[in-house]
């Protein structure tokens, strides 16, 4: 009978999840890293042992995530560039995570109602939409699958007289999670937390068994520091005091959003200083946080029986979110919805325990109260499911996503630039032009927008304006290789080969490994019938790993044979 009740609760959780996330099946790829991970990622288009080796020895988008990239390669092999397949995979992985969350917290709490609450709100909380609906965040969902599996295995290890097979399973799954997303480095500390929660006495053996976990954490932490060094936003390096304030702000943001998940955004930009000072809500965040901390301490004093639960839940939250608390700014967001995917489990657990304490003490004594409680809980689930359903529509395509972002941050140039890029790809040039102009009104020297505007001018035949914008871009950032390529392409479009050659050669002087410049020079010299120069530049491009258009492969092969090269 108990098993049937558990199956019934799981069926409810999974059904509500599928209904809440149903809109993602109609979603397309978006112009925010989907190209880097999937649509333009050559690494996923060759499912061979040689390429798999390359995937496991390379970083992508400043992060080492080989298992995630491999999952895209499998999908590309089976489905090509069908966004439906990628979204479906993300949702299926999320559903498996829901099952693992239920299992984990049933092992922890021994209460099916508590585990149901944790799993269903993990499943449908609007803060988790980004993790499921955004295809590149597959890495977070897939990492959670192995991470949660590792925790389940370790819990079984603690509950089954320390059978080594469970510890081995936990270690293997931990390794898998690290190969999926480096945020999994927090797991060894969670294992220590589980030891404390289960009152396990620390011994020489309990320390030795975790050494492999900590060695892996140190190793993958070093890899992460190395791969993300170029992603550090050096324009956002704040003072030590300001970074401390950001820590309190982030904590409050995540605590508030678990209860009030409104005004969500794909990006939450760092604040603009007002007269050299942070906005007041940031300055007040330490005081508010301290006030909440005092309330927690008072609660711990009064509720002795629940100290362990509160300590466990809060520690779980902070340990798992610590790797993304950004002491050094990475990227352009101060906080992110996706960062809560695993950490919120600790807070959900605290809420669930207190909710069902209230149920046991005051509700179950009366049938009417039980009916009201059940209706209220069902309404809450329905409401959060509806919010998630709505949020999924925001992620439908690039235009809906960036329009939503602009509605929250109407002065942020990134939204206009990215939406302009989406309009450009749809051929709606006037709308793209308007967005680019709006972005430049707020920030005239915004290089990505200037770069995109140059392409737009070129494609609509306004070549002189394209040249002017490209030159301005290079003046602002003289090592921006793509801007050189852009400018050279504009000169090619108007038949000015000499200027194009000059620009491509300037690009090579700036960066000896810039493949497009070599390829374009090879093409130009080929049509100028200067075959020696053409071959030389093509060979440089190939040696650097560039791919030459098939139309020129025969020329390269014939030239090589003719000259014995």
* Summary mean pLDDT of the chain: 92
Task: Render pLDDT for 158-173 as a digit per residue (tens, 0 to 9).
Answer: 998 889 999 999 999 9
Confidence tier at 352 by pLDDT (50, 70, 90): very high
What span, in angstroms and rounded, lies between the C-alpha atoms of 227 and 406? Answer: 31
Over 60: is that where the pLDDT of 1 sits? no
Task: Render pLDDT for 22-74 as a digit per residue (tens, 0 to 9).
Answer: 999 999 999 999 999 999 998 999 888 989 999 999 888 889 999 999 999 99
What span, in angstroms and rounded, lies between the C-alpha atoms of 346 and 118? Answer: 9
Mean pLDDT of 242-252: 91
Mean pLDDT of 159-188: 95
- Report the b/e string of 187-202 with b at 16+ CB within 10 A: bbbbbbbbbebeeeee
Q: Where do the domains of the chain lie, and which CATH numbers do they carry?
A: 399-562 (1.25.40.10)
Task: Render pLDDT for 282-309 as a digit per residue (tens, 0 to 9).
Answer: 999 999 999 988 988 888 788 788 889 9
Residue 305: burial class (beta carbons within 10 Å; 0-12, 13-18, 19+): exposed
> Of 503, 521, 431, 514, which Cα lies nearest the Cα of 467?
503
Mean pLDDT of 175-197: 96
Compute how many other C-beta atoms are within 10 angstroms of the C-beta atom of residue 74.
12
Task: Decide which of 496 and 239 is more confident.
Answer: 496
Phi, psi of 62 (to 5 degrees): 60, 30
Task: Render pLDDT for 400-455 as a digit per residue (tens, 0 to 9).
Answer: 999 999 999 999 999 999 999 999 999 999 999 999 999 999 999 999 999 999 99
Residue 94's alpha-carbon distances to 136, 154, 220, 342, 531, in angstroms, are 14, 21, 25, 12, 55
> Of 500, 451, 495, 453, which Cα lies nearest the Cα of 477?
451
């Amino acid at each position: 009978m108990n098993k049937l009740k558990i199956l019934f609760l799981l069926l409810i959780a999974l059904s509500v999840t599928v209904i809440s996330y149903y809109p993602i099946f109609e979603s397309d790829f978006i112009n925010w890293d989907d190209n880097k991970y999937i649509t333009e990622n050559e690494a996923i288009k060759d499912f061979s042992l040689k390429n798999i080796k390359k995937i496991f020895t390379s970083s992508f988008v400043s992060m080492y995530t080989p298992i995630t990239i491999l999952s895209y390669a499998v999908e590309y092999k089976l489905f090509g560039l069908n966004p439906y397949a990628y979204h479906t995979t993300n949702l299926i992985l999320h559903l498996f995570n829901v099952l693992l969350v239920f299992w984990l917290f049933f092992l922890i709490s021994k209460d099916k109602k508590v585990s149901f609450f944790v799993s269903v709100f993990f499943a449908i909380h609007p803060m988790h939409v980004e993790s499921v609906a955004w295809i590149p965040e597959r890495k977070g969902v897939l990492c959670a699958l192995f991470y949660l599996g590792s925790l389940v295995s370790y819990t079984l290890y603690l509950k089954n007289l320390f059978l080594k097979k469970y510890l081995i399973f936990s270690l293997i799954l931990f390794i898998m999670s690290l190969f999926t997303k480096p945020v999994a480095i927090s797991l060894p500390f969670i294992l220590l937390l589980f030891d404390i929660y289960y009152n396990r006495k620390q011994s020489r053996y309990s320390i030795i068994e975790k050494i492999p976990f900590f060695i892996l954490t140190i190793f993958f932490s070093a890899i992460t520091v190395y791969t993300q060094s170029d992603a550090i936003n050096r324009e956002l390096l704040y003072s030590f005091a300001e970074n401390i304030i950001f820590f309190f702000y982030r904590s409050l943001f995540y605590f508030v959003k678990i209860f009030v998940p409104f005004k969500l955004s794909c990006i939450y930009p760092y604040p603009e200083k007002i007269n050299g000072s942070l906005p007041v809500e940031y300055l007040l965040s330490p005081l508010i946080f301290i006030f909440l901390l005092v309330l927690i301490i008072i609660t711990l004093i009064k509720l002795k029986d629940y100290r362990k639960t509160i300590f466990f839940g809060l520690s779980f939250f902070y340990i798992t979110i610590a790797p993304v608390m950004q002491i050094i700014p990475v990227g352009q967001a101060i906080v992110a919805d996706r960062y809560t995917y695993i950490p919120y489990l600790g807070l959900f657990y605290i809420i669930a325990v207190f909710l069902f304490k209230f149920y046991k003490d005051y509700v179950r004594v009366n049938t009417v109260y039980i009916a009201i409680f059940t209706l209220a809980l069902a309404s809450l689930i329905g409401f959060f499911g509806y919010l998630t359903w709505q949020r999924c529509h925001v992620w439908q395509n690039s235009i809906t996503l960036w329009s939503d972002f602009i509605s929250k941050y109407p002065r942020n140039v990134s939204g206009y630039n990215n939406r302009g890029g989406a309009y450009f790809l749809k051929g709606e040039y006037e709308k793209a032009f308007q967005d680019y102009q709006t972005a430049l009104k707020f920030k005239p020297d915004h290089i990505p927008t200037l770069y995109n505007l140059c392409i737009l001018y070129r494609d609509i035949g306004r070549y002189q304006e394209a040249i002017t914008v490209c030159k301005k871009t290079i003046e602002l950032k003289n090592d921006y290789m793509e801007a050189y390529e852009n400018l050279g392409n504009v000169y090619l479009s108007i038949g000015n080969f000499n200027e194009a050659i000059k620009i491509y050669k300037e690009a090579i002087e700036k960066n000896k490994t810039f493949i497009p410049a070599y390829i374009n020079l090879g093409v130009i010299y080929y049509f100028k019938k200067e075959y020696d120069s053409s071959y030389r530049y093509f060979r440089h491009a190939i040696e650097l790993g560039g791919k030459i258009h098939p139309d020129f492969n025969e020329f390269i092969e014939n030239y090589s044979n003719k000259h014995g090269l």
